[in-house]
Amino acid sequence: MALAFPVKHRKPELIVPAEPTPHEIKTLSDLDDQQSLRSHYPMIMFYKTSPFVKEKDPVGIIREAIAKTLVYYYPYAGRLVEGPNNNLGVDCTGEGVVFVEADAQVRLEELGDTICPPCPYSELLVSHLSNSIGVLSSPLMMIQVTRFICGGFVLAILFNHLMSDALGSIQFVSAVSEIAKGASTPSTLPVWKRELLTARNPPHIGHALHEYEPMDRIDHITKIMNDEKIVCKSFSFGPKEIKSIRKNLPLEIRSSSKFDLITACLWRSRIKALNLDGEEIVRITCMINIRGKKFLDLPTGYYGNAILCPATITKAKTLCENPLGYAINLVKKARSQVTKDYIRSTIDYIATKGRPQLSHFWNFIVSDASRVGFEELDFGWGKPIYGGTMYGGATNDNSVYALFRNKNGEDLVVVPVCLTVAAMERFEKELNKVIWEPVEDSNNLNSIMFASKL
């Protein structure tokens, strides 16, 4: 249960680069300049007090390190501007990023497991910073360091999604942590090169893109979801849950990745809980990092958006009536689509179709932030007891996976889910059933694998 505690906020200030930086306009890529990315997203890290740095103030150390890091990442200190055809760029003005110092009248240990997403303290720790004049006019980063009376602290950052995804953002924060501990330069230097993820001339869309299919019935779906109160709950997948899921699967698919298992369980349980007509088309959309693809040749240090959202579709009754293996194979199919042709087709589609939104037509969009690495960031106080997404990205059709270490030292994947009250009750029952009860028919595996390829 969330605690109530007072927080005293100092007046927001602007941190500018510690040295003069170039004044230029940098163009965003077509993957950056998407309508769905015109928002801020928060990341948060909670740190215990440390006897080795007891006399040091995290506010001053982090403030100074940010200023020094902005010399290398100077576009973050600029502002977005619109160019020809409403294309966005960054005017590197050096105006700075927002910084707030705060003090909370509570001990970190009193918060317990409530610090994992969805964090109930967002209004106190970062959310008030977002009351700005708009994503396109506001600073590109907003930071708050809040001290606890025990000597611990929390670092919360709002990133402008048009500038970078989570992996790009952690590159910046990692550089801040290195400089906070005495480094003179970041170990990984930033690379802009947004032209590498820009549409071809002429564009060529040679791949089916289920994630962007028309949303003719979205108003109807939104009304259904808005007619009732929406509740958000977090579900944890630890070693016991994963072991049980694997045990209940046919031998041929027990080696599936943890992501595939969790996503399939959530998606299938969610669709069952929604009580859809069996003929409804449902889809699973997986956010996939395309860094490291040899044919793209994205350089080390690239910190722009490099995430695509491949999807697969099926009928609701087919998903619900088949064993879990069917859903697992559909998740694998979505991820396997990320080829050179798919990537280039997606970028061309975004650029030529007016920056379309992802389809929300009975879609479940998942992103795995549990391996981004925020839980490893050390500013001199050791690693955080929790580091990652604040809200879990949870909306009616979207969940972001986070990593949380419980008091027993077990690493859990925590997934916030939002549904109507009635659907949530059904969802919990279905999820427990699919995790703990044997449901597979190994003799049906061939037909499952065949059907998932259709």
Other C-beta atoms closer than 10 Å to the C-beta of 281 total 14
Residue written as token pair 């200023």:
67
397 is catalytic: no
Identified catalytic residue from 161, 210, 368, 397: 161
Instruction: Return the amino acid letter for 238.
Output: G
Cβ contacts of residue 244 below 8 Å, gap of 6+?
435, 436
Distance, first Cα to last Cα, the chain: 46
161 is catalytic: yes
Catalogue the active-site residues.
161, 378
